[in-house]
Amino acid sequence: MTEPVPFHFSTVAHLELPAGWVATDLDGLSEGIAEVPADSLFNHVTRIGARHPRARDLPANDFARWVGTALQDPETAERLAFAGAQPIRPIEDLRAALVAILGSVPKRRRSESVPESAAFHFVRARSIVAGLALEAGEPERIVDLWEGVDLAAVFYHLVEARVIGPKADDLCLWLRARGAQSMAEGAEALSSAGLPLARLRREIAVRWRRALIPRRVVRRAEVPEEVRRSEERAAAAKLAGRLRGAPRERDRP
Amino acid sequence: MSGWLARYADLVGSDTLHALESLARRLRGHRIVMVNTTRTGGGVAEILHRMVVILEELGVPTSWELMEGDERFFGVTKKIHNALHGRAEPLTEADREVYLERTRAEAGRLKLDGDLILIHDPQPAALIAHRKLPGQRWVWRCHIDLSRRDPDHWEFLSPWVSRYDAAIFSAIEFVPPLEIPTYLVAPSIDPFSAKNREMEPEEVDSVWERLGLRQRGPWVTQISRFDRIKDPLGVIEAFRMVRARRPARLLLAGGGASDDPEGVEVLAQVMERAGQAKDVAVLELPPGSDLEINALQRGSTVVMQKSLREGFALTVSEALWKRRAVVASAVGGIPLQVLDGQTGLLARSVEGAAFQTVRLLDNPVLRRELGAEGRAHVRGNFLHTREVRDYLAVFASLV
């Protein structure tokens, strides 16, 4: 029997580089979308979320914003926004959906162009992955580590690894393989919704903790009374410390 | 975690810093050398001061070498700099010889003993011809907007740039055709510098008073050097439209007039036009007025950046960092910072700038919301920690 593989958390930095395609009208945008490598397409629909992890309301993807602001075509912009709003989607499906929307725009509007200075430049993203020295042997341990994982890592394990790979870094896949079906389903449902990353991390943590309550209650009942009391005192002291301390910058609204 | 990293932890979160440490671990056993031509003045020196310390704290040994030159050398490099920005002056044979001779001399003197060499801007670019050792990785970091480069000057420089292992530019529009890998790394601001550090309201008031700005607001300001591409006359025009509908004052503050003949001319025009308008103040700031700029931005109700053309325009990030409501043109790097309706408002015309300014003057809730989102956006994307992360990623991709 083989040993179960632990899950290693990693963070990611996206190195952006020119993809070599530039569009000044909807036809050019459509050609670019049809031709650029998958990482470029993925980058353009997801980087707004990666760059705005704490937004209350995520702005539309790069294509939609360019069409709305540079080409001043709000109708096409909103259609592109909707098509790109679902981060967990096979890239080729996404590509086909975007190209279909652009193809359905009346021909006259498709060739209305902007000057070079307002052109859309396609950008590729090369992922530089670095291990976080956080490892979970059991799904329960994932819950303990989850809130110490940076938002780039949340994006990498829940969105990028799932859509682009590598599969070994897909957290939901690992949870399923370890029998944590409900944890995987919860994470999948929330990450498919395209929430801002900070909210996604928070809501997943809440859902996972809730899912683990029955198991933890049983385990807690087995802990000696004395140990339980001392742990409760420590938790109360920690809470008091947090209430006394000033809020950190990133916690402020 | 200690030193500068600990100060950043409160702003960006310890999880982000742990991620930085993880990236830095990929560079264990490597050593970085940064090279530029000045330790004081200018954004590059400013960022290098911090970056070297942060990289050291992350456990990546980093040193900073200064290429020296005489007046002739810097005269030539200034010419190249201007020409790469689009203001062409012919590069003579004598100019080329001055540049190459100084490069040869400095190549023999500089301590380029790391295996990852980051060369900043065109002045030291040709060092690679003399000093690149097997196993070393050289990266050229261009902080200049090359989109209007003069072809002769670029033809002179590009053979050296092509010998690098990679090049980094601030925005995609600035990237010239090159056969080497090119990466995009946006510049960043230092939240602890005099220009961006927190200030108490009393301190802000005292600076405004010291500068002779005692009138009550609301103030609309544009803080930029007096240059046509910053469109100060367009700002006055937009403000006249605003002033016809709402009580407000405009402040145009900036430097760049004293050492630039064109700047003197622009300032004179601005003064003349301001004299004809109601409630417009013009302030020429001397170099090193960082604290004054900080206070002026903090005391403004609306910050405008109505440029006709821009490089990256970090002044926008500076204003967003201070939770200011920003109205800016959709040019250069501005749309990366101002997401229309989310972190600020974009305008494409004089009337548009006036319209957006009136919206903001009338709506304190909108100003607050944009300000809060703008600060969060800068925190995640335009502080030095993000630029350090990107450099670490570039190097990690090369080793």
Residues 75-134 of A with CB under 8 A from B: 117-118, 121, 123, 126, 128, 130-133
Work out how many domains chain A is built from and give that number: 2
The predicted model gives A190-216 an average pLDDT of 89
Q: How far is A130 from chain B (nearest CA, A)?
A: 5
Give the whole-angstrom CA distance, residue A51 versus residue A60: 12
The answer to the question of residue B193 being in a domain is: no
Residue A32: which domain range?
7-125
- Out of A80, A101, A125, a domain closes at A125
Instruction: Judge whether B294 and B194 are in contact, CB under 8 Å.
Output: yes
Would residue B359 count as lying in a domain? yes
B349 at A interface, C-beta within 8 A: no
- Which pLDDT does position A52 carry in this prediction? 82
Indicate whether A99 belongs to any domain.
yes
CATH number at residue B244: 3.40.50.2000
Q: What average pLDDT does the segment B63-68 reach?
A: 96
Nearest to A69 among B15, B330, B389 (CB): B330
Same domain for B154 and B275, yes or no, is no
* pTM for this entry: 0.88
B194 assigned to some structural domain: no
Characterize B31-58 residue by residue with b for buried, 16 or more Cβ atoms within 10 angstroms of its Cβ, and e for exposed: ebbbbbbbeeeeebbbbbebbbbbbebb
Q: Do B32 and B179 sit in the same domain of this protein?
A: yes
Which amino acid is present at B372? Answer: A
Collapsing DSSP to helix, strand or coil, B262 comes out as helix
**What percent of chain B has a predicted confidence (pLDDT) above 90?**
75
- Measure the CA–CA gap between A56 and A30, rounded to whole angstroms: 30
d(CA A90, CA B338): 30
Residue with tokens 């410390």: A241
Residue showing tokens 């690098």: B164
- Total residue length of chain A: 253
pLDDT at A253: 40
Same structural domain for residues B159 and B147?
A: yes
- Give the amino acid at B310: E
Q: Give chain B's domain count.
A: 2
In terms of Cβ atoms closer than 10 Å to its own Cβ (0-12, 13-18, 19+), residue B127 is buried
pLDDT single digits (tens) B129-155: 999 999 999 999 998 889 889 999 999
* Residue B6 sits at the chain A interface (C-beta within 8 Å): no
The range of the structural domain enclosing residue B313 comes to 201-381
Are B245 and B342 part of one and the same domain? yes
CB A204 within 8 A of CB A146: yes
Residue A153: closest C-alpha in chain B: B19
Minimal Cβ distance to A148: which of B15, B25, B173:
B15
Q: What is the Cα–Cα distance from B86 to A180, expressed in whole angstroms?
A: 60
**Same domain? A166 vs A213:** yes
Q: Report if residue A131 sits inside a domain.
A: no
Q: What is the mean pLDDT of residues A96-104?
A: 97
Q: Are residues B175 and B41 in the same domain?
A: yes
Q: How confident is the model at residue A252 (pLDDT cuts 50, 70, 90)?
A: very low
For residue B390, give how far its alpha carbon lies from the nearest alpha carbon of chain A (Å).
7
| Interchain proximity A69–B340, CB inside 8 Å | yes
Residue linked to tokens 């652009």: A102
Residues 203-242 of B with CB under 8 A from A: none
Opening angle at CA A164, ends A162 and A165, nearest 5: 65
Q: Are B170 and B212 in the same domain?
A: no
Q: A65, B184: Cβ pair inside 8 Å?
A: no
Chain A residues whose CB is inside 8 A of the B11 CB are 249-250
Q: Are residues A77 and A146 in the same domain?
A: no
Q: Is A59 on the interface with B (CB under 8 A)?
A: yes
Statement to judge: residues B17 and B109 lie in one domain = yes
In this complex, the residue of A55, A133, A248 whose CB is nearest that of residue B373 is A55
Alpha helices in B13-116 (DSSP H): 14-25, 43-57, 71-84, 93-109
- Quote the pLDDT of residue B257: 53
Residues A98 and A142 in one domain: no
Cα distance from A232 to chain B (closest Cα, Å)? 26
- Does B137 share its domain with B211? no
Amino acid identity for residue B138 in this structure: W
- CB distance B396–A11 less than 8 Å? no
Amino acid at B3: G
Is residue B333 in a domain?
yes
- Beta strand ranges found along chain B (DSSP E): 32-36, 62-66, 116-120, 137-142, 166-169, 182-184, 219-223, 249-254, 280-284, 302-305, 325-329, 345-347
Judgement on whether residues B388 and B248 belong to the same structural domain of the protein? no
Q: What is the CA radius of gyration of chain B?
A: 22
Residues A93 and A200 in one domain: no
Measured CA to CA, the distance from residue B58 to residue B75 in angstroms comes to 37
In this complex, which of B173, B377, B393 lies closest to A121 when CB atoms are compared?
Answer: B173
With respect to residue A84, please indicate whether it lies within any of the assigned structural domains: yes
Of A103, A125, A147, the position where a domain reaches its end is A125
Beta strands in B285-348 (DSSP E): 302-305, 325-329, 345-347
B389 vs A: CB within 8 A: yes
Measured between CA atoms, the residue of chain A closest to residue B147 is A117
Indicate whether A20 and A121 sit together in one domain: yes
Residue B160 has which token pair?
A: 């050296």
Question: Best interface-test mutation with B: which of A22, A249, A251, A252 has the largest number of B CBs within 10 A?
Answer: A249
Residue B29 is encoded by which pair of tokens?
Answer: 């056993």
Residue type (1 letter), B333? G
The pLDDT value given to residue B256: 65
CA distance B77 to B2: 39
Question: Which residue of B7, B10, B184, B377 is the best one to mutate when testing the A interface, meaning the one whose CB has the most A CBs within 10 A?
Answer: B184
For residue A75, being part of any structural domain is answered with yes
Q: Is residue B72 exposed (0-12), middle (13-18) or buried (19+ Cβ within 10 Å)?
A: middle
Q: Are residues B332 and B221 in the same domain?
A: yes
Looking at the fold, whether B184 and B280 belong to one and the same domain comes out as: no
The region of weakest confidence among B198-212, B299-313, B385-399 is B299-313
> Do B110 and B219 share a domain, yes or no?
no
Taking the CA of residue B301 as centre, how many other CA atoms within 13 Å lie in the half-sphere pointing to its CB?
20
- Average pLDDT, whole number, for chain A? 90
CA-nearest residue of chain A to B346? A69
Ordered DSSP codes for chain A: -PPPPPEEEEEEEEEEEEEEEEESSHHHHHHHHHHS-HHHHHHHHHHHHHH-TT-SSPPPPHHHHHHHHTS--HHHHHHHHHHTS-SSS-HHHHHHHHHHHHHTS-HHHHT----GGGPEEEEEEEEEEEEEEEEESSHHHHHHHHTTS-HHHHHIIIIIHHHTS-GGG-HHHHHHHTT-HHHHHHHHHHHHTT--HHHHHHHHHHHHHHHHHHHHHHHHHTS-HHHHHHHHHHHHHHHHHHHHSPPPGGG--
Paired strand residues for B325: B302
Q: Could you tell me if residue B13 is inside a domain?
A: yes
Q: Of A51, A72, A121, A250, which to mutate for an interface test with B (greatest number of B Cβ within 10 Å)? A: A250
- For B238-276, the pLDDT digits (tens) are 999 999 999 999 999 987 655 566 778 889 999 999 999
**Most confident segment among A56-70, A175-189, A227-241:** A175-189
**Dihedrals φ, ψ of A30, to 5°?**
-65, -45
> Does A145 share its domain with A192?
yes
| Domain contains A94 | yes
Q: What tokens does A230 get?
A: 């001392």
Maximum pairwise Cα distance, chain A: 78
Convert A145-175 into a string of H (helix), E (strand) and C (coil): HHCCCCHHHHHHHHHHHHHCCCHHHCHHHHH
Residue A227's pLDDT band (cuts 50, 70, 90): confident
Across the range B282-300, mean pLDDT stands at: 94
In a domain, A133, yes or no: no
Of A125, A155, A170, the one marking the end of a domain is A125
- CA B195 – CA B278 distance, rounded (Å): 29
Give pLDDT tens digits for B194-240. 999 999 999 999 999 999 998 888 999 999 988 888 899 999 999 99
Q: What is the pLDDT of residues B80-138, one digit of tens each?
A: 988 888 877 899 999 999 999 999 999 999 999 999 999 999 999 999 999 999 999 99
